[in-house]
Structure 1
Amino acid sequence: MNNPYNVLCIGVNHVPVRRLSKLDYAEKDAKTVAKYFDTLKDKAHVTLLTGENATRTNVLNWVKQCSNIQGKLTVIIFFAGHGSAEKDENNKKLERCLWINSNLDTGPGSHQLKTSEILNLLNNPLHQLIFLIDACYNFDPKQEVSIQDIFKQFKESERMTGLKQYAIISASAVNQGALEDPQLGHGVLTYYFLQTMAGKYTFFLRRKISFFRFLAVLDKRVRNHRFLTDT
């Protein structure tokens, strides 16, 4: 796995939880993003986990392997599927959760992978993490979540959050839903991510512009699509 980019693409269309409908494009999105990064195998090591292979064990084992790699490394994780904001039982804060086909026993929370679990494992100071999440970030209305809780979390959970060691590129801010568009044949974020990488604003692999310029272009395209389709 000693390449300039270590890439993990995760896509889950169906989670065996009644309140979550089956998605059409999540697994296709993961495969398409993996195919892009796989074009330059000398620069990127790509792992694809979809459907029943996208288990907690497989994801966290991959993350642990990355953490043990010495030297500078860019770790890229792409997730397409269901996401939500769930209240942590211990500290009562909202946690961004990704819904996977867990290999744990079924039960409350068994299909939820908290992004904090991944971030806590990827703690090598020489590594940069870029986390792309094409998933919702809303909460279950049955949960008791106050407006104050939402605002406390919003600062660190905007659509694009740039931090010193990692950047999160998300299809949704707190209490927003992500979109799949049949006309695009992809999730909206995934589609414009692929389009932006293919054009003159490429950042990954064939770098032409700065990372934050790339984010600005991508964010504008996603927001424009939301505006046009929501009005």
Structure 2
Amino acid sequence: MKRVGVLIIFLLPFLTVGCAGHYNIPMVDVTATPPDIVQKIPLNAAILITDQMENYTFTGQANESSIYGTYTFPFGQMIKKNVFTILSPAFNKAVIVKGKPYPQDIDVIIVPKVEKFQHWYSGAGAFTSTVVAKISIKLAVYDMKGALVWEGIISSPKVEKIYSTPITGDFLGATGGAAAESVVAALQEAAKVMTSSREIHTFVSTKGVSETIASKPSGKELPIIKADVDKPFFGVTDKILGDNDMAVVIGVEKYQDLPASDYSSSDAKLIKEYLVSLGVKERNIELLLNERATQSSIKKTVETWLPNRIKSDSKVVIYYSGHGAPDTKNGDAYIVPFDGDPNYLEDTGYPLKRLYDKLGKLQVAEVIVLLDSCFSGAGGRSVLAKGARPLVMMADVSVLSSNMAVLSATQGTQISSSSPEKGHGIFTYYFL
């Protein structure tokens, strides 16, 4: 599935076109049968249902076989409904968890993730049609110290359901049924694969269940699960950017004299990875992190490095994650560099108006500005001069050129912040 948030940014001409509906697929009960297990695993397992798995969003493309529109599938409910029947025969014990704290008697954490989901028409008639679903689930098994024991991708067969064409409810019900049966089929196969896994049985014999349990009272973090956006996975056909496209990526997490902006540095690195995956050459990306993102460096990069490298057909991406601040005298918004001081913004900050002005003068095809920051001084990723009050910031869109689009984490007095659970800035996480 394509990262829809990223692709929309570069398809600005299509943003004015009407879009298909968003459908919540109902939970459909499916009778699951226990799989044939050859050798039971003597472990207590907890299945961690992540946000990505709980409510999975699928977007169909406009082609003759795909089902156009956006659909949310309750995969979390489907797993919870059937996991005990399917996995209890494979382990001593199987329980569902949403997160920490984990039960004290658990030996391993199993984390399922949607690797690929397909949903399409098999045939359409005047009165009845067939909907098809197929799912590939990536399962990772971690010990209680966070070490990976085993991982694998399990795919279901194609599951078909017939529905009455004129009735929307029939279509949604058939879709839910096909999805639920595909999830059950994948879990049944996963149970067989895990019980025959050499890695899991080696873990049991060499590590020992007693050693794993004995380690629990130590209070160590268990386990660190990466967010579902932590690695771009675009195919060759998804490379929508090219040799002449440019990017300036700035992330300031650790400041010279200010509180940290959590995850800004790692988010900037991840944005660079995504841009490279989408086709931007590494030589065309200037990455400024922490102490490298001084006021002079930002100014030099935006106002000299970038204009000297662009072409007329270039697409330019500017990303900033870090603190913002308002000038309490005139309300102007500033990016706060590594060496910035909110008490002396005119001397140490970089004004957004100046950024927009310099970018607007570039003779390029498109300019996209992404700001994971806030500029009101109300908290979060915003700082304020000592003794000053937060401002209501109003975006001045009149300074933007016709080929420029700006996506910002906040407006007005809103606060931009980070999520310890996701390990990212909120804006960056949902953008990716």
- Runs (5+) with no aligned partner, structure 1: 195-231
Which residue in the other structure is 1:117 paired with?
354
* Residues 4 and 43 in structure 1, CA contact (< 8 A), matched pair in contact too: no
For residue 61 of structure 1, report the CA deviation from its aligned partner: 1.9
For residue 84 of structure 1, report the CA deviation from its aligned partner: 2.0
For residue 77 of structure 1, report the CA deviation from its aligned partner: 0.7
- Runs (5+) with no aligned partner, structure 2: 1-241, 378-383
Relative to the length of structure 2, the TM-score reads 0.37
* Residues 248 and 285 in structure 2, CA contact (< 8 A), matched pair in contact too: yes
After superposition, give the CA deviation of every residue in 1:115-172 in whole Å (9 maximum; x if it has no partner).
22222222124342211010122133833677xxx47x34649xxx986221111001
For residue 28 of structure 1, report the CA deviation from its aligned partner: 0.5
Q: Aligned equivalents of 1:78 and 1:29: distance in 2? A: 10
Counterpart pick for 1:65 among 305, 318, 326: 305
Q: Aligned equivalents of 1:178 and 1:105: distance in 2? A: 19
Q: Aligned equivalents of 2:280 and 2:374: distance in 1? A: 31
After superposition, give the CA deviation of every residue in 1:4-45 in whole Å (9 maximum; x if it has no partner).
32111111112233xx42122000100010111122345982
Which residue in the other structure is 2:388 paired with?
143
Q: Aligned equivalents of 1:192 and 1:105: distance in 2? A: 30
Which residue in the other structure is 1:191 paired with?
429
Secondary structure (helix, strand or coil) at the match of 1:58 reads helix
Secondary structure (helix, strand or coil) at the match of 1:108 reads helix
- State how 1:114-193 maps to structure 2 within 5 Å: 114-122=351-359, 123-139=361-377, 140=384, 142-143=387-388, 150=392, 153-154=394-395, 156=397, 164-193=402-431
- 4+ residue stretches of structure 1 with deviation over 6 A? 104-107
Counterpart pick for 1:97 among 334, 343, 347: 334
Task: Call closer, same or farther: CA 1:131–1:44 in 2, change over 3 Å.
Answer: farther
Structure possessing the higher relative contact order (Cα contacts under 8 Å, 6 or more residues apart): 1
Secondary structure (helix, strand or coil) at the match of 1:3 reads coil
Q: Aligned equivalents of 1:105 and 1:47: distance in 2? A: 24
| Percent pairwise identity | 24
**Is 1:78–2:319 an aligned residue pair?**
yes
Relative to the length of structure 1, the TM-score reads 0.66
Q: Aligned equivalents of 1:167 and 1:119: distance in 2? A: 10
Q: Aligned equivalents of 1:38 and 1:28: distance in 2? A: 15
Secondary structure (helix, strand or coil) at the match of 2:268 reads helix
Larger radius of gyration: 2
Counterpart pick for 2:294 among 55, 59, 65: 55
Secondary structure (helix, strand or coil) at the match of 1:76 reads strand
Q: Aligned equivalents of 1:80 and 1:121: distance in 2? A: 19
**Is 1:13–2:273 an aligned residue pair?**
no
* Residues 34 and 47 in structure 1, CA contact (< 8 A), matched pair in contact too: no
Q: Aligned equivalents of 1:23 and 1:145: distance in 2? A: 18
- State how 1:26-37 maps to structure 2 within 5 Å: 26-37=264-275
Which residue in the other structure is 2:176 paired with?
none
How many residues are aligned here? 179
